[in-house]
Each structure stands twice: as C-alpha cells, then as structure tokens.
Structure 1
Amino acid sequence: MTSLELWPIGNCQVSGLIDETGSIVWGCVPRVDGDPTFCALLRGEDGHELGTWRFMLEGQCKVEQEYLRNTPILRTRLEDELGGKVDIFDFCPRFERLGRMFRPVAFARIVRPVAGSPRLRVLLTPMNGYGAAQAPITHGTNHIRYLNDRHALRLTTDAPVGYVLDERHFRVESALHFYLGPDEPFVGNVGREVEAMLQQTEAYWRLWVRGLATPLDWQQAVIRAAITLKLCQHEETGAIVAALTTSIPEAPNSRRNWDYRYCWIRDAYYTVQALNRLGALDVLEKYLAYLRNLVDDAHAGVIQPLYSVSGAREIIEWEAECLPGYRGMGPVRIGNAAYYQLQNDCYGQIIIPNIQAFSDHRLLRMANAEDFTSLEKVGEMAWQLHDQPDAGLWELRTRTAVHTYSSVMSWAACDRLANAAELLGLNDREALWRTRADAIRAHIDQQAWFAEGGHYAASFGGQELDASLLQLVELRYVHAADPRFQATLKAVEKTLRRGEHMLRYASEDDFGLPETAFNICTFWLIEALHLDGRDEEAKALFEAMLAHRTRSGLLSEDMDFETGELWGNFPQTYSLVGIINCAGLLSRSWGDWR
C-alpha cells in the first residue's frame, strides 16, 4: 500500500521522492511546482507502473535503504532470492563548478553490483500534463529522449539502451550510470562524470552540515531536518516551499487536499528562524533577497499569504482529473486559492526575519536605511490591519474573524521596526513604531482576553482556543511566567491536547471537525512545557514525536492521534522546524558534556 515512507533527494532546483522499493514516485520539472514527471504517488493503488522510475531485480526479496551520512544521497540495496545484490545511489547533483553552484534539472542514479549475479529490470515511465499521458519517446545509441512541450528530458546511460526500452531483465556485471537531465548532449564519459558528480555532491553536503551549530542531543534528527529544509528552498529566487508535494490528504477521504509547493510567508518565516538558530545563514540570505523583491513589487505595501517560487502573485487553483490521488483519495489540486485570502499575520512574518539584517555582521549584505524605508510600507499595513478580520493562519475559507495570532504578529511588526529604527539612530521613527506597538498591545489585551474563562482567546471578542496562542512567548509578547500565559497554556492543553498530540483547534471548520493532529502544534506544546519548567514531560513528548518519523527521519503535516499514521503533505517544513527548535531547547549544552 502507498505510504509516506518516502526518501527525498534534491539540489534546491528539483527534488524527488523515493519509496520503499527504491522507485522515484514523485518529482516535478523544471522546478518543485512544475508538472510532476514522476507522479505515481498520486496515481492510486493501481497506477504504479506509470509516472515512476523503478529498478527491480528478478526474484527480488529484500530492500534496505539509508542516506549517506550528512547528505540527501540515498543508498538502496536490492537483494534477490539467490543472494544477488545491487546498490543504487540516488541524488540530484549539487556542487560548485566554474565559480557558481551547479544544480541542474537532473536526477542521477548509479547501480553497482555487490554480490551474486543479479538481473535488473529498468522501468522508466515519465508523464506529461499532470498524469494525462506518458511522455513520447525517441532514442539514440546511448540515450533516450522523453518529449514534453515545455521541458523535454534526456536519459544518458552506459546501460544497454535496448534493455531499458524493452523493460527486460539483464545481468548487472559492472556499475551502471543513469543521468536524466536536460534534452541536450551529455558532455564526457557518462560513467566517469556521474561518479564524479556523486563524489562532489557528497562533499558539498558534508561541508554544509559541518557548518551547522547543532545541539549536543538529537544531532542526527536535527541534521536530517536541516538538510531537508534546505532542499525546500528554490535557490534561484530564495523562495522556500511549505512541502514538496500536493494533495496528500490531511485525513482519509477528507478532501482536505492542498498544494503546498509554494512559498507561504508564514511557513518560510518559521523555516529561516529554525535554520538561523543552526547558523545556516545561506538559506536566510537568499530568502531575504526573495522578500526584498516581494516588498518592492507590493502595491501600497499589500502582501499576500503565499507566492509562487518565482514570486508570481497569481496561483490559480484547479484539479488534475487524470490523477486519482494518494491511495485514490482525490482530488489532486494544483495551485492554491489561499493566495487571495487576507491573512494579516504575514506582515509581521516579513518584517521579523528582515530585522536581523540590520544587526548581523556575518551577513554578506546588511540592511540599510533604504531597506528600512521599504519595510515601513509593510509596517504601515500591519498597523492598519491589526484589528481587521482575516482568514487567520489556519486559512479558513468560509468565515473571518479578528484573529489574536494575526494581531500579535502586527504588534511584533511594529515592535521590531522600532528596534531597527533604534539601531539606525532614527529616533522619530523609533518613537512612532513604539507608540503603535503599545497601542496594538493595549487593544489585544482588551479584546482578546476572555475574562470569564481567564485566558486569551483565539479571536477578538471570542472564547475559543487554538494552538497558535502557545506562540505568545516565542513572539516576545508575554513572558513564560506571566499568569495570563500560564492560564492560557492550561486552557489550551486541556481543550486541544489528545494524548501525545495537539489539534490546531477543536471546533468545526469548512470540512467539519478536525480528524488528525497538526504536528507543529505538538512541537509548540513541547516548547511551552519547557518554558513552564516541565522538562521531563517535554522530553518524553519530544521522544514520542521523533518515534513517529519515517525511516528517512522526517514528518508530514498531520498525524492520526489514535494510530500515529502520518497524513498531509510531505516532508512538511513546519514539522521539521519543530524538531530543530525543540532539540535546541531540550538538549544538554556542549559544555555540560565536556
């Protein structure tokens, strides 16, 4: 049965997901939000022969998988009934070449014989038009072309092309190399070049990981989360997508199927925040460049909740009728209508990461007074909208309210602009933004405090709760010891906690009552427990969450709070952020270990 036991590979231009058989079952070209050349993941239970790239041994009986240490390079070992074995190395090339980063729209695979006399079958069936048709084929002596109106691909290989075309088993007696990339002649000997690409890609990732400031405990979990978060950045523009997939349901047959292959300002904010704590400034710098372009293009400072990885504003939502969906649970949605929603928290989430650029001398490009002036346009919108209804961070489609989280983010926008003005010596601007921050705070404390229940509510004048209230300390709106936060934590935990899991909210939304827990909310609870001095409980809950990861060490967006099964798009940046943040909070210090 199709599952989320998937192993991502990528190079910050393209990415692929490999299943438990060693098959590439998801991968879009020429970028993460493109047409899924490999779409078997969403073809239902009977559609795995199309939209895949599979290696199979005759009489295959066993599969083992692991990443090469500190890389997104996957090694899959296939074994047959007679003891024949091969190793498959899957990666997308990424390394510096000719003074710039080489990250082609390409998937590389190496098959090496290990034992016995294994016989291999290659099944390569790329699709066009979101699963509408198999790509037409032409071929030459050592290559096969898969045609597409927009982005044709060429497989260059030293394996027998005839066997690949006929999908016949053949004996593997020496290493075989496969390079599926742009439709252009492959320069050089494919075997030597792909082997060199593997070595250079492995070296790149190990050096990148070497620069991370990881906590002492849970290092491997943090490193895997960090590598995967970096894979979610489209390096050409700096955009960070929420996940690599579309339309994995949040719960079985729920129709809560969304396309997450876009840059949500909110999700990217949390991602760069987590990676920044590890010292991964390269991701932050590229994302800040993306934000500067969004701010420049914003009309009167108006910011959308999400954009395409190119920065395009319009992301029309439609359904790909030729794809049945994950386990047949459609629809498969392409695009996301949330782009035209009002989600007022995004103003704070643009400003907060930008503020670091005014004070961090490690950055190649520090922010200046002109950048501050541009950010003030965004701050003006935060000020104007802090008490206005929006769809909120949970993106409700049929109703609005003045959401406390959005208003607190508006407060944070004004507060951080005051900090930046102080650094720049702009006393009049500092005074203006501090006055506005104080006014928003007073309004929140008056309107969001539910006196009868003795806690903050999720919306102005309401009494309902949601998990975002746990972020009040993280945003520096209140201190952890503040009795108001203590009371809110107690109320949120009582209402939304389900054993080892947390709901976003417990009330009905556009699709009824929530059926699964939202993983980032569980990590927010772990952070709150730590802040409340309940470290042993927080660590036990953190270990429980880690135990639910896939064998690739990752998490999706949602989890069945009764069975622990993963649901929702994968890998989910929110969830990986939770791993990094909680490990940092709960780990012993390096000084204690030494």
Structure 2
Amino acid sequence: MTKHTYDMGLIGNCAFLGLIGTDTAVRWLCWPRFDSSFVFGSLLDDQKGGEFSIRPAAPEFRTSQYYQANTNVLCTEIDAPDGRYRVTDFAPRFAQYDRYYKPLMFIRKVEPLAGTPRVRVACRPMGQYGELELSRRRSSNHIAFLGLEEEIRLTTNIPLTYVLDEEDFVLNETKYLVLTYGAPLEAPLESTAEQFLRKTVDYWHKWVKSTSIGTFHQAAVIRSALALKIHQYEDTGAIIAASTTSLPEAPGSTRNWDYRYCWMRDTYYILTAFNNIGHFEEMERYFHFIANISTKVRDKYQPLYGISGKADLVEIELPLAGYLGNQPVRIGNDAYTHVQNDVYGQVLVALLPLYVDCRFAHPDQLPPEKLATEVLRLMEATLDQPDAGLWEFRHIAQRHCYTFLFHWAGAHAARQVARTLGNAAMEARSTRLIDEASARIEECYDAERGVYTNAIGSSDLDASTMQLILMGYLDPASDKARRHLVELEKELKTPEGLFYRYRHPDDFGTPETTFLICSFWYVEALACVGRLDDAAREFEKLLTYTNHLGLLSEDVDAKTGSQWGNFPQAYSHVGLVNAAYRIAQRLDQPQFVAH
C-alpha cells in the first residue's frame, strides 16, 4: 500500500483558512467563517466542490510547493513543457489603525519564471455545501458571484473572457487575482496586492521573531506555531481543532467528523503551547473565549462549542461524495451532547493564569471566586459520574482515570486561586476534592502490572494516562512513573514508535490508525522520566510523518506512514510544540547531555 499524504498547503489570517493543492487548486475554503459552508470544497466532492485553480494548459507538469520563510505565504511552482510559473497565495494580515487588518480576501499572484507557459484559470465558487450554484455577473474589471448573503467578487487583470470561458492563455507578465467576500477591493489591483503581500510577509516575520523558541528542531516548531496561530478565530478568540470536516481517521472507517469547533479538552494543551512559545496575545484571546462560555454555563459544560460559543452543533450528513469516496460527510458534531467531565478541571487550569500570573491584568469581567466556586461545585457533583471520556465514546460510559486527573488538577488550580484570595473555606474545599480525586485515580491502579488503567474496574490501557506523569500527579523520577510508561509502551506503542489512543474496541470497532498527539505525549513522558536520548530520537521519527510542508494530520497509519484524519490538526501541532519545549528544557539542564 502506498503512503498517503495530504498534498496541500495551508493559508489563513485568523479570519479564514484555505487549503491549496500542489496543482494550485483551492481544495478547501469556507466563508465567511471557519465553520461556514465551503465556497471551494473539491476536497470532499470534485463535482459539487467548485474550483479555483491556475493550472497549466499542458497535461503533464512537475510541481513544487513551499512557504516563504517564517510566514503563512504559500508558493506553488509549476514546471510545464512550455514554461515555468509561480503562484503565490496568501490571506492578508497586518497591523493597521491600531488593530489587525484581516479581510475576507484571498490574493493570488501569478508570475512567469521561464519560457512562455500557457495557463488556464477556473473560478467557480459554490454555496450551501455544493447545493447552490452561484450566478455570475461580468463587470469591467471583475466578476461578481451572486446567491450568497454577500457578494463574492473576483478582481483580476487577466482578461475576463479567459476566466469566464476557462480558456488557456500565455502568461507573459505577472497577473493578480483577488477574491473577496462582502467588501470588495476598491483600490488599485497591482500596487495594492504587492503592498498587502509585503505587509503580510513583514507581519509574519515579526510574529516569528517575537516567539521564544529554543534551538531544538526550531524550524519544525516555527511551522507548527504558524499553523496553530491561524487556527485561532480572532474575532472571538476560539481555536478550532482542524480546518476541515469528514477526512476519515482510516479509509472506510466511517470515523469522519467535523473538527471546525473548539474542544474544551484541548484547552490546557493549547494554552500551554502558546505559553511555551511566549505568545500571550493568543492566550488572552482564548482565555476570554473560555471565560465568555463560563458565564453562560448553568448545569454542565459541553465537550465542545462553536467558534461563537454556540452550544447546539447538530450533526447532519450531507449528500457529498466524500474524501476519496469516504462517507458519510458530516457537519456539526454530536459530541456536544456527551458527558465529558474532565472539562471542569480543564476550565480551572486554563483560567488560573488570569488570576495568579502577573502578566495578565484585571480580569474584571469574570470574578475568580464566583467561577472557582461554581466549577468546584460541578466537579464535586460529577466526581463519581461515568462519562464518555476525552475520546468521546458514543455508547460507552466509564469512570475514567483521565477525568479524575483533571478533577485533581482543577482542584489544585482552585486551591491556588483560594490562597491568592485568602479564602480559607474554598481552600479547604479544594483540598478535600484533591484527596477524593487522588483516591479515585488510585482505584485505576493495577498493582500486579504496575500500570494505571483507563478506568475504574477496567484492565484496558489508554495513552491519556501518560498525563499522570506530564501533569505531575506521578513523580517523574519515581519507579512508579517509569514502570507505568514501560507498560503503556508494551501495549500501545507500534514498532515505528507511534502510539494508539487505546487498543480495545469502541463504538466503531478497534482503532486502525495511531493518534499523533499521543505520540508527542510519549516523547514528553520520555523526557520527563529522564530518557532524553529516547525522547529526542522518537521526536525526530515523528517529524517524518509531516507532509511536504511540515504540516501534520490527526492520525497516522503506522504500517505505511500515511496521514489520515482532519488536516492540519491543531492538536498535533500543539503536541509537537510542547514536546520540543519539554526536550529543550531538559537539554538546558547540565545533568543531561544530548548525543
């Protein structure tokens, strides 16, 4: 079986995201929001997905794709028999009038590099997930596409006849295509596109320079940080799990989910990643998103929310062909109805820095006492309630070790807030919950094997229990931590060094592919227990599972190295950033020597 990779590059500006194939075709772009219908979606259906491409007229060609260094500006070079040309794709983002300019504007610069290449431009946006064909209106220098709430407009210096008829033409000078949703480009085309390109490149260069990244595999960390940054929907601060929906976890598995939402289970890890690279602006925006949800919660937190904080994310199946024929294609995600009780600890651990980290000032809109008291109440009420766990089992409820761990961690955070406020009653309540959660975690301990199982009364193992080491429940220097890790390796690690989430059957059978963030947790755990050479070696193996641009998927087939699941997966890039940081920290300690 050949290795499957997602041969696409990611562009974005924190208002929208797009995926561009190595043949210049826009495979995925949703407007006006991350979770809106696609306007280009050939990733899921070649017929209904529309098209926006700048392909060569010649059927045979070679292609290469790369980012301009330290940016989210993507270049695709096409080498055809009659000539060579480059397409530079970007979403404008830069500082303007004391705020960030991030329009719903996608700019494509097409420049000849050698010979006299003939190219063919196609631009056919769609609406309502491929059900609505937009009507076209020709103007003097643009084409308007009508039928959505707002106009999509293509402004270009390519003869409109060639675009409308999709006829090939000789590319003998630089051309520009600016696609907008809503507010159109009213300024001069060529000079504005060049100015926006220059300013966008400059923005990303400054952003990267302001990151605190060690020297351990710096280039990979920078690419992950850049990808993670544009998964934040800046308008609300939400960070989505992935830009796509329904890319299968394994071919034919039917595990095809919509990941364009904000998962509470990711909160701690995402904030840790931004903290590790020293980016507080993104942390603060995400804090406010979580805080906004917290003020609306009455009975329980959901596992995930929409990017506006929307609670109802009803799951619907669409009549689309699916990625490589994999069905169903889903939008919405039924996991919002699940009981997932680790979210309470996630919220407290996530919001703790607002109250105890001096870099964050005056979170007046969310009184810490009220929040901590309310979340402590919810944790006490759910302590012994079976739940779906962080992997969101649809028809399996257990008392999960991972859930108890976040009760323990959340109670620690509440106690820290209590001490900061001088609230003795809250401190005592938090301490009591720490002790109760610890007792439940110990009920998951299999003394004969020397390992913590996934749930009370279960013999199954779960990669999430590596967090017992990473979050400090187990002393990393202890024999107990080392043995726990060894037992997880025996059962869940593949010969290639990848990690399954678990190996027991779930609602859809036994998982076929490994979950990439678990492999990065493994690297972190190795570094924690002092196996630093192993950690560095396993990290370097994981870098071989990126695509040609350093982008990571959700899942990897251990046998073939194939990428599967939604793409790019923010969670995987968070794992890479945090694992590299953990190794770099240990390398800086004199008792460890890297070989």
Which range moved further: 407-416 or 475-484?
475-484
Question: Offset of 1:3 from its aligned partner?
Answer: 4.6
SS in structure 2 at match of 1:299 = coil
Distance 1:375 1:110 in 2: 51
Q: Match for 1:21 among 7, 20, 23?
A: 23
Distance 2:146 2:194 in 1: 26
Whether the 8 Å CA contact 2:303–2:338 is kept in 1: the answer is yes
Question: Offset of 1:481 from its aligned partner?
Answer: 2.4
Whether the 8 Å CA contact 2:470–2:525 is kept in 1: the answer is no
Q: Match for 1:438 among 435, 439, 449?
A: 435
Distance 1:206 1:590 in 2: 30
Question: Offset of 1:354 from its aligned partner?
Answer: 0.8
Question: Offset of 1:156 from its aligned partner?
Answer: 1.1
In structure 2, give the amino acid aligned to 1:478. Answer: L
SS in structure 1 at match of 2:469 = coil
Distance 1:224 1:331 in 2: 32
Whether the 8 Å CA contact 2:88–2:109 is kept in 1: the answer is yes
Whether the 8 Å CA contact 2:404–2:440 is kept in 1: the answer is no
- Corresponding residue of 1:162: 161
Question: Offset of 1:487 from its aligned partner?
Answer: 2.6
1:485 matches 2:487: no
Instruction: Calculate the TM-score normalised by the size of structure 2.
Output: 0.95
Whether the 8 Å CA contact 1:16–1:26 is kept in 2: the answer is yes
**Aligned CA distance change for structure 1 residues 144 and 400 (closer, same or farther; 3 Å):** same
Q: Match for 1:508 among 501, 505, 509?
A: 505
SS in structure 2 at match of 1:144 = strand
In structure 2, give the amino acid aligned to 1:299. Answer: R
Distance 1:510 1:580 in 2: 31
Whether the 8 Å CA contact 1:30–1:151 is kept in 2: the answer is no
Distance 1:363 1:171 in 2: 56
Distance 2:399 2:134 in 1: 49
- Corresponding residue of 2:297: 298
SS in structure 2 at match of 1:463 = coil
Unaligned runs of 5+ in 2: none
* Residues 523-557 of structure 1 deviation map (CA, whole Å, 9 limit, x = unaligned): 11111222222222221111111011111101111
Distance 2:520 2:80 in 1: 42
Write the mapping of 1:317-332 to structure 2, written as runs, cut at 5 A.
Answer: 317-321=315-319, 323-332=320-329
Distance 1:184 1:291 in 2: 30
Question: Offset of 1:367 from its aligned partner?
Answer: 6.6
Distance 1:58 1:227 in 2: 34
The number of residues matched between the two structures is: 586
- Corresponding residue of 1:78: 78
Unaligned runs of 5+ in 1: none
Whether the 8 Å CA contact 2:401–2:440 is kept in 1: the answer is no
Q: Match for 2:471 among 468, 475, 482?
A: 475
Instruction: Calculate the TM-score normalised by the size of structure 1.
Output: 0.95
Which range moved further: 371-380 or 90-99?
371-380
**Aligned CA distance change for structure 1 residues 590 and 57 (closer, same or farther; 3 Å):** farther
SS in structure 2 at match of 1:222 = helix
Question: Offset of 1:368 from its aligned partner?
Answer: 8.6
Whether the 8 Å CA contact 1:369–1:424 is kept in 2: the answer is no
Whether the 8 Å CA contact 1:359–1:366 is kept in 2: the answer is no
* Residues 379-428 of structure 1 deviation map (CA, whole Å, 9 limit, x = unaligned): 22122212210000010001100111011101111111101221222233
Question: Offset of 1:432 from its aligned partner?
Answer: 2.1
- Corresponding residue of 1:254: 253
Whether the 8 Å CA contact 1:93–1:107 is kept in 2: the answer is yes
In structure 1, give the amino acid aligned to 2:268. Answer: Y
- Corresponding residue of 1:498: 494
Q: Match for 1:449 among 420, 424, 445?
A: 445
Question: Offset of 1:375 from its aligned partner?
Answer: 3.2
* Residues 568-591 of structure 1 deviation map (CA, whole Å, 9 limit, x = unaligned): 000111211121112112234499
Report sequence identity in percent: 38
Question: Offset of 1:106 from its aligned partner?
Answer: 1.8
The alignment yields a C-alpha RMSD, in angstroms, of 1.9
Question: Offset of 1:267 from its aligned partner?
Answer: 1.9
- Corresponding residue of 2:86: 87
Which range moved further: 282-291 or 50-59?
50-59
Write the mapping of 1:96-111 to structure 2, written as runs, cut at 5 A.
Answer: 96-111=95-110
In structure 2, give the amino acid aligned to 1:352. Answer: V
Q: Match for 2:569 among 550, 568, 572?
A: 572
SS in structure 1 at match of 2:120 = strand
**Aligned CA distance change for structure 1 residues 424 and 580 (closer, same or farther; 3 Å):** same
